Each structure stands twice: as structure tokens, then as C-alpha cells.
Amino acid sequence: MIKTQVVVIGSGPGGYTAAFRAADLGKKVTLIERYESLGGVCLNVGCIPSKALLHTAEIINEAAEAQHLGVTFNEPKIDIDAVRKNKDDIVSKLTSGIKALAKARGVQIITGYGRFVSNTQIKIDATDEVIEFEQAIIAAGSRVTKIPAFPFDDPRVMDSTDALDLEHVPKRLLIVGGGIIGLEMATVYEALGSEITVVERSDQLIAAADKDIVNPLFKRIKKQYANIFLSTEVTSMNAQEEGIQVGFKGKGAPEFDSFDKVLVSIGRTP
């Protein structure tokens, strides 16, 4: 049995900062993380890797637009393996930094899935180890929201985590959800060569944002993407040999269309 004063479940931005603060105040701290690397969703499969890929997309797009300034570049040659490695290297460097900060503060790191077995004990599934604590901080984060009717068992139907892997750049990509995450990945895949269609059930992209901010973005990407369907719902999604057949219901949208891959980006669940 491990005895500690403060146990923190989850090593994301909320969890590791809480653990570090408690350690700085003199507490004996144990940090539980179910995955091998620290940093949570943002660092491993969210903000950081997406921004690394967006930087690559920005360079590709700026090279294409430079001809308006009188500078012409040859068509870029995309090495997907190198793009992926650069993204992974950035993530690895930052997660290693968090681990080093934890070590410097004497924060004990336990890898596994923690379950409360009493109001003072947590059991680690991977090792059956029991941690006895005085105070607990739950910072378990969120997970991708999935619609049960969609065929996520087919690798051609991705969530935002899958999309960051860049296993394959499809010819035709449908993005379900016109929020920030969906549009970030649309930017990346469009720069890498995919033909993008975005479907959003609200009457504007990034529904929570002010229309005055969204409209200039909409006008710009409407010229780049194959289609943007607003006030439109996905009514069906079926995996077929030739592609993923998707049914739509909304103004201007086809009843059915087929795509090489589909990214479902409709938010996250706590």
C-alpha cells in the first residue's frame, strides 16, 4: 500500500498544475495517469499536436499564396511520415518536460486507471496497488463524443484523436461538426491535399462565436473547400467497400454522398 497526503487523478493541465502546487506547499503528492505520457488531452491528442500540424499547413498555404507577391515556389512535396514525426517529437519533448518537473518536486507518478474503493483509498487497475490518501483531486478531463449509430469500428470513420495520426490523407474528407477542432483538422487536411466538405447542424460555423468574427473566416474557407453545409444534419452513415456513404438533411445538401474518410468532431464529454 502507498500512503500519500494528496492524490491527483489525471495529469492534464488541471491535474499536473494542482499536483505541482500541492508539492510546492510541502505535501506528499501522488499523481495517477492512465496513459504512459503526462499532459492529458491538450498536450498529447489535442491543442499541441493540432497546432504543430497547423504550422505545417500554414507553411504550405503561404508558399502557395506567395505568387501574389511575385515569388513562385514549386509544388510542395509532402512527406507524411516526416510531418507526423515532427508532431510526435514536439509532443514527446513537452511531455518529458512535465515528467522532469514532477520529478524535481518529488511527485510520485503512478501509471494506471484509478478507482475509488473507499473515501480514503484508490485501487490501481493495472497493478491492483492501493493508494491511501488524505485528500483527492479529480482532474480526469474529457473524452471524444461519439454517436453510437456511426460505424466507428471502420478505420475510415475517425474522431479527432484518430485524425491527428495522419495515417492516410484521403481524396475526399467529410468533417461532421463545424467547431474549432473540426475546422483545424479541415485546414490541415486541405493543405495536405484533401477535398473538404464540412457539415454543421447550426446556422453558422463555430456556433458559440460572434457572427462578425466567423463571417470573414466563412467567406475565406468557402472558396477553398468543396462544400460547407450549414443547418444540416447527418441522418445516416454506412461503411461500404467504395467509401463511407452519408445521408444528409438540410438546405442545399444532397440526400446522400460518399467519402473516402469521415471525421466526426462534435465535441467532448466530461
Of 138, 173, 140, 145, nearest to 161 (Cα)? 145
Percentage of residues of the chain with pLDDT beyond 70: 100
The position carrying cell 507526423 is 84
Q: What is the pLDDT of residues 36-94, one digit of tens each?
A: 999 999 999 999 999 999 999 999 999 999 988 999 999 899 999 999 999 999 999 99
The answer to whether 65 and 224 have CB atoms below 8 angstroms apart is no
Write b or e for each residue in 154-185: b if 16 or more Cβ atoms lie within 10 A of its Cβ, otherwise e: eebbbbbebbbebeebbebbbbbbbbebbbbb
pLDDT band with cut points at 50, 70 and 90 for residue 244:
very high
Confidence of residue 245 (pLDDT cuts 50, 70, 90): very high
Q: What is the pLDDT of residue 85?
A: 98
- Write down the CATH superfamily of domain 157-269: FAD/NAD(P)-binding domain (3.50.50.60)
The CATH number of 1-141, from 3.30.930.10, 3.50.50.60, 1.10.630.10, 3.20.20.70, is 3.50.50.60
Phi-psi region of 267 (alpha: psi -120 to 50; beta: other; left: phi over 0): left
All 3 cell numbers of residue 152? 466507428
Separation of alpha carbons 97 and 47, rounded Å: 17
Q: What is the pLDDT of residues 192-229, one digit of tens each?
A: 999 999 999 999 999 999 999 999 999 999 999 999 99
Query: What residue spans in the chain does CATH classification 3.50.50.60 cover?
Result: 1-141, 157-269
Q: Helices 47-65 and 80-104: crossing angle, nearest 10°?
A: 140
The pLDDT of residue 86: 98
pLDDT of 127: 86
Per-residue pLDDT at 8: 99
Q: What is the predicted pLDDT for the residue at 33? A: 97
The per-residue pLDDT for range 175-193, each reduced to its tens digit, is: 999 999 999 999 999 999 9
Within 13 Å and on the Cβ side, how many CA atoms surround 266?
Answer: 16
At 178, give phi and psi (nearest 5°): -100, 40
Per residue in 126-161, pLDDT (tens digit) is 788 999 999 999 999 999 999 999 999 999 999 999
The 3-state secondary structure of the chain, one letter per residue: CEECCEEEECCCHHHHHHHHHHHHCCCCEEEEECCCCCCHHHHHHCHHHHHHHHHHHHHHHHHHHHHHHCCCCCCCCCCHHHHHHHHHHHHHHHHHHHHHHHHHCCCEEEECCEEECCCCEEEECCCCCEEECCEEEECCCCEECCCCCCCCCCCCEECHHHHHCCCCCCCEEEEECCCHHHHHHHHHHHHCCCEEEEECCCCCCCCCCCHHHHHHHHHHHHHHCCEEECCEEEEEEEEECCEEEEEEEECCCCCEEEECEEEECCCEEC
What digits encode the pLDDT tens for the residues 16-32? 999 999 999 999 999 99
Question: 158: which strand partners?
Answer: 263
Can you give the pLDDT at residue 255?
97
Report the relative pairing of strands 108-111 and 2-3 from DSSP bridges: unpaired
